């Protein structure tokens, strides 16, 4: 039996960057950026400081120091709000935060490439650092990490189905964008295809090159879980395949919210009375998932814990459709086009 050594994974050689902006002295860095994001979320500097476990006076000092160096206000006082008064970002403050975040992401993407080239013996992938994901974990979907398994061979399709055109991008781009909208605590994309991994990196996701794809879906599960093993905040993992383009955002939100209220349960969508994907597994089942062999999937583990299964009924049931051959693709694509034409107003109720 394969045993998952969490300590061994957490001690794997990796790198971390921590960049800051200076005038004469440091005035803007990860701490200020995180504080501004919290203010944007809570509409209160006091609440933001409390959530981040720093003194209110220290929070104000951080903001004032940055404002002095920048020459403009980052926050303005707000009357009313959740806590009877608070603060909000100024247009200049929001622009500064957006620029810093974009620069941070670009720096990590460049560093990831060099890390993989210069230290290939240490790199699981070209994107080995967890820092960008961990930095904003408080603002993400609490406790749920997402893993996209995109290593299949598409043999029956005769072509990489993730690269099929949906009109405004590929299947893979649609799936990745939908996952991004959910703001999971962390996202890992496992694939044997460089173009898919590049799409993941462009969205700030962790990416893992799967060199054992011929071992079956268990290899993607194993690599995805081990890559996120260091993120203690994750209490559950949701597993996506790359060919369910009809899932609604509302369904994904229901799955996540059900898990948040029942974190000890295996949460799955029930399509017309049948077990379906994507499934959220509690983190304590990770060792069993890592131990899966060849084409065994999460359903194998779920069947061993029938007392922990909690279904989320889904209507319409066709949201769970996937495709493995041209005939399936044509059916799914037609449903996709019909729903897009009426914005889901009628089809999603059928």
- What value does the mean pLDDT take over residues 192-212? 90
Question: Tokens at residue 263, please?
Answer: 């974190």
Task: List the Cα angle 315/268/158 in 5-degree steps.
Answer: 85
Nearest to 180 by CA among 189, 168, 193: 189
pLDDT recorded at residue 6: 42
pLDDT recorded at residue 79: 54
Strongest mean pLDDT among 134-143, 254-263, 274-283? 274-283
Q: Is the pLDDT of residue 160 over 90?
A: no
* Rounded-to-integer distance, Cα 199 and Cα 180, Å: 12
Given pLDDT bands bounded at 50, 70 and 90, which one contains residue 85? low
Q: DSSP character for 124?
A: S
On whether the CB atoms of residues 275 and 232 are closer than 8 A, the answer is no
pLDDT recorded at residue 349: 47
- What value does the mean pLDDT take over residues 157-179? 87
pLDDT recorded at residue 64: 92
195 contacts: CB under 8 Å, gap ≥ 6: 163
pLDDT recorded at residue 119: 77
Q: Please tell me the least confidently modeled range out of 58-72, 88-102, 135-149, 256-270.
A: 135-149
Decide: helix, strand or coil at residue 284.
Answer: helix
Please state the separation of Cα 330 from the chain's center in Å: 29
Q: Is the pLDDT of residue 173 over 90?
A: yes
Antiparallel, parallel or unpaired: β 86-89 and 141-150: unpaired
Nearest to 279 by CA among 234, 239, 223, 320: 239
Greatest alpha-carbon span in the chain: 64
On whether the CB atoms of residues 99 and 107 are closer than 8 A, the answer is no
Q: DSSP character for 243?
A: -
Reported as a single tens digit per residue, the pLDDT across 29-52 is 889 998 998 898 888 898 888 888
Q: Please tell me the least confidently modeled range out of 80-89, 217-226, 290-299.
A: 80-89
Nearest to 200 by CA among 220, 176, 184: 176
Q: Is the pLDDT of residue 261 over 90?
A: no
149 contacts: CB under 8 Å, gap ≥ 6: 190, 217, 220, 221, 224, 239, 240, 241, 242
327 contacts: CB under 8 Å, gap ≥ 6: none
> From start to end of the chain, where are the E strands?
21-22, 26-28, 75-78, 86-89, 141-150, 184-191, 206-209, 236-241, 266-271, 274-275, 279-282, 309-314
Q: Can you give the pTM of this predicted structure?
A: 0.59
- What value does the mean pLDDT take over residues 264-281? 94
- What value does the mean pLDDT take over residues 95-123? 78
CA distances from 253 to 59, 106, 185, 248 (A): 33, 29, 14, 9
Query: What domains, with CATH codes, occur in the chain?
Result: 21-100 (1.10.10.10), 129-349 (3.90.550.10)
pLDDT recorded at residue 275: 94
Place of tokens 């597994």: 281
Per DSSP, helices labelled H in 121-279 are 131-135, 171-181, 194-202, 217-227, 249-261
């Amino acid at each position: 039996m394969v045993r998952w050594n969490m300590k061994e994974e957490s001690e794997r050689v990796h790198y971390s960057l921590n960049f800051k902006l200076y005038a004469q002295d440091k005035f803007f860095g990860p701490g200020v950026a995180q504080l501004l994001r919290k203010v944007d979320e809570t509409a209160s500097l006091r609440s933001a400081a409390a959530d981040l476990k720093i003194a209110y006076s220290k929070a104000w000092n951080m903001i004032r120091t940055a404002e002095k160096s920048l020459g403009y206000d980052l926050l303005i006082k707000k009357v009313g709000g959740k806590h009877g008064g608070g603060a909000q970002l100024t247009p200049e403050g929001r622009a500064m935060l957006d620029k810093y975040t974009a620069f941070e992401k670009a720096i990590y993407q460049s560093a990831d490439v060099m890390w993989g080239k210069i230290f290939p013996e240490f790199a699981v992938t070209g994107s080995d650092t967890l820092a960008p994901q961990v930095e904003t974990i408080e603002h993400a979907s609490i406790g749920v990490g997402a893993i996209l398994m995109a290593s299949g061979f598409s043999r029956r399709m005769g072509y990489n189905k993730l690269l099929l055109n949906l009109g405004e991008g590929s299947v893979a781009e649609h799936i990745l964008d939908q996952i991004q909208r959910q703001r999971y605590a962390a996202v890992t994309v496992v694939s044997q295809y460089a173009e898919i991994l590049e799409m993941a990196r462009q969205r700030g996701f962790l990416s893992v090159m799967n060199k054992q794809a011929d071992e079956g879906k268990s290899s993607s599960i194993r690599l995805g879980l081990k890559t996120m093993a260091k993120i203690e905040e994750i209490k559950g993992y949701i597993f996506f395949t790359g060919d369910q383009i009809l899932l609604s955002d509302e369904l994904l939100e229901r799955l996540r919210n059900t898990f948040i209220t029942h974190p000890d349960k295996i949460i799955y969508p029930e399509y017309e009375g049948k077990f379906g994907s994507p499934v959220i597994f509690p983190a304590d089942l990770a060792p069993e998932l890592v131990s899966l062999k060849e084409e065994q999937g999460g359903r194998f583990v779920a069947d061993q814990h029938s007392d922990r299964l909690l279904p989320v009924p889904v209507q319409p049931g066709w949201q769970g459709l996937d495709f493995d051959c041209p005939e399936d693709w044509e059916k799914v694509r037609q449903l996709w086009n019909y729903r897009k034409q009426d914005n889901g107003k009628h089809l999603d109720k059928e």
